[in-house]
Structure 1
Amino acid sequence: MTIRCLSQDSVEYPRRLLDLCDPPKKLFYIGNVGLLNQPMVAIVGARKASQTGLLHAHHFAAGLGRSGYHIVSGLAYGIDSAAHRSVLALRGPSQTIAVCGNGLDSVYPSAHRDLAKQIAKVGLLISEYPPGTGPKGFHFPRRNRIIAALSLGTVVIEAAQKSGSLITAYLSSHLGREVFVIPGPISSALYAGSHRLIQEGAKLICGVEDILNELPNERFH
């Protein structure tokens, strides 16, 4: 599939990214670039998610998709890929956007090559990194700022004390977006970061309606 490029002066460049102090100068993409300025919600969480966490990711991604929001995530193992797959299973009109931490001429993790192809066919793959750029550890926190800025809000499902999902949540809050957190057992290390977010003011949610009641009324039609 052809990799294309947007600059900041392109009509399709997402205006929400300009809320960042360091918005990407260029965005490389494969797929439906028209999704970039439509309403979307981020779903992020543990790579080594529990079965309960994966079920929550499917439930919330599908519910938000049916309610008029596209879903953005990071193509990682666990919660990210579960959210992407849930939206793909809806077969429209909601789509999913994957923000990558490497050039789009390769897929990371490589096990998600088929998933990336499915997303590119009906949704969108994007990256600020040009083709030929491999995945580096410091790319992923920067990738997370794009996920946070594109979204009207971020849903956190299973975040441990040092989860990368916390970066997305804090960036989302800093940008004035909503942060939603699903609580879990207080004895579970998988939820230590999630519970800290709630203590610091993130919204505790028990269902999709809790999110819909807080989001701006910007839905695709």
Structure 2
Amino acid sequence: MGFKSSGSQLRAAGIRNIEVDVILQGRDKINPEKEYSKLEKEKVRMIVFDDQEFPKLLKHIPDPPILFYMKGELKKEDDFCFGIVGTRLATNYGKETSQVIAFKLANAGLTIVSGMAIGIDSFAHKGALTSSGRTIAVVASGLDEKSLFPQENVGLSRKIIERGAMISEYPLGMKGDKEKFLFRNRIISGLSKGVLIVEAPLRSGALNTARHALDQNREVFAVPGNISSRMSFGANLLLKQGAALVTRAEDILQELNFKFTLPAVDETSAKIFSSENKVEEKIFDILNGNGEAKHIDEIARFSGTAVQKINASLTTMEMKGIIKNLGNGKYTLEERYLVPIEDEEV
């Protein structure tokens, strides 16, 4: 099948009628040599369905792309991908949860896939980049920086290309729109063994991704959220409908039967933290005092440290697997770090 293939040849290759019409109508306006020259200039490669690099999982979805454009590279370890998506209007709870879970999953060896949108998607990519792992962004526009959407994430896209890949069905110069966003979601789920919805209202592209995941026989996971928050209505609905409940990255790894190792338990806070982490050391001591969860304002008050510094340290400690975010600003130590306390009357 080549550039000058007939309509019947394109259909025989599995291309849908609507796509065939677009190809036939636009083909005469395209100069193949000029287009390839643009791709080379932008360091973009075109991966077609029959190429060895075309992901195996993606080949077997009901409506795989016949080709996609790519910046960066796909590696063998990207055979085991996991999608994390959610609303653009994410709360701080959603952003932190997305980043921490992505960090832990990437450290365990999964490649994190998301859509590079503002909000949950961006923090999923950032979490993977903060770890030692890889990440893939599936975008709904051309891969050239002028067309890339959202423009606010051009800097993030450069980091993703260094540690993974950015892919799109759409040629250079093409802007994104609502229909393209919804259509690309099938690729996010198609690349992945499972998909996690962190936060999503009832009308959400993230729920559209969840539906694609179900159609593709993928596992769907969701993070429970505040029952009064519209940003959690969609994720909570998925849980009622049978999605796997996730409060920590280990829930996903266990459900997927993915082998992983937890950080070794240190006996004392002095061994866990270096002298450079005085704020983290204070937080550890406060949370380990009686083993009860504490609000961030409480931790700040007891430690005599500004809330902004406490918040940054809490995020770091959660990524390390030392503390657990219970939502609504409350934190506790992970169970394996809690020192057993005996009741005085025993």
* Counterpart residue number, 1:209: 250
* Bigger Rg over Cα: 2
Shift of 1:134: 1.1
2: CA distance, partners of 1:135 / 1:218: 38
Q: Which moved more, 1:145-154 or 1:34-43?
A: 34-43
1: CA distance, partners of 2:149 / 2:77: 21
Q: Is contact 2:62–2:216 with CA below 8 Å preserved after alignment?
A: no
Q: Which moved more, 1:14-23 or 1:185-194?
A: 14-23
* Counterpart residue number, 1:102: 141
* Counterpart residue number, 2:203: 162
Q: Which of 68, 89, 103 is residue 27 of structure 1 equivalent to?
A: 68
Q: Is contact 2:148–2:175 with CA below 8 Å preserved after alignment?
A: no
Give the match's secondary structure for 2:83: strand
Q: 1:160 to 1:186 in 2, by over 3 A?
A: same
| 1:44 and 2:44 aligned | no
* Counterpart residue number, 2:219: 178
2: CA distance, partners of 1:35 / 1:137: 32
* Counterpart residue number, 2:189: 148
2: CA distance, partners of 1:218 / 1:4: 33
Shift of 1:34: 2.2
Shift of 1:87: 1.1
Q: 1:137 to 1:180 in 2, by over 3 A?
A: same
* Counterpart residue number, 1:85: 126
Shift of 1:52: 0.6
1: CA distance, partners of 2:218 / 2:134: 21
Matched residue type, 1:99: V
Q: Is contact 1:98–1:126 with CA below 8 Å preserved after alignment?
A: yes
* Counterpart residue number, 2:48: 7
* Counterpart residue number, 1:191: 232
2: CA distance, partners of 1:137 / 1:46: 14
Q: Is contact 2:221–2:246 with CA below 8 Å preserved after alignment?
A: yes
1: CA distance, partners of 2:66 / 2:257: 27
Give the match's secondary structure for 2:178: coil
TM-score by length of 1: 0.94
Q: Would you tell me which structure has more helix in proportion to its own residues?
A: 2
Q: 1:35 to 1:98 in 2, by over 3 A?
A: farther
1: CA distance, partners of 2:65 / 2:75: 18
Shift of 1:217: 3.5
Q: Is contact 1:169–1:179 with CA below 8 Å preserved after alignment?
A: yes
Answer 1 or 2: higher relative contact order, Cα 8 Å, separation at least 6: 1
CA shift digits 1:145-188 (9 cap, x unpaired): 00011000001111111011001111112211111101011111
Q: Which of 138, 161, 173 is residue 120 of structure 1 equivalent to?
A: 161
2: CA distance, partners of 1:80 / 1:185: 20
Q: Is contact 1:14–1:36 with CA below 8 Å preserved after alignment?
A: no
Gaps of 5+ in 2: 1-41, 261-346
2: CA distance, partners of 1:212 / 1:174: 22
1: CA distance, partners of 2:257 / 2:59: 19
Q: 1:37 to 1:207 in 2, by over 3 A?
A: closer
TM-score by length of 2: 0.61
Q: Is contact 2:196–2:222 with CA below 8 Å preserved after alignment?
A: yes
Q: Which of 150, 169, 179 is residue 138 of structure 1 equivalent to?
A: 179
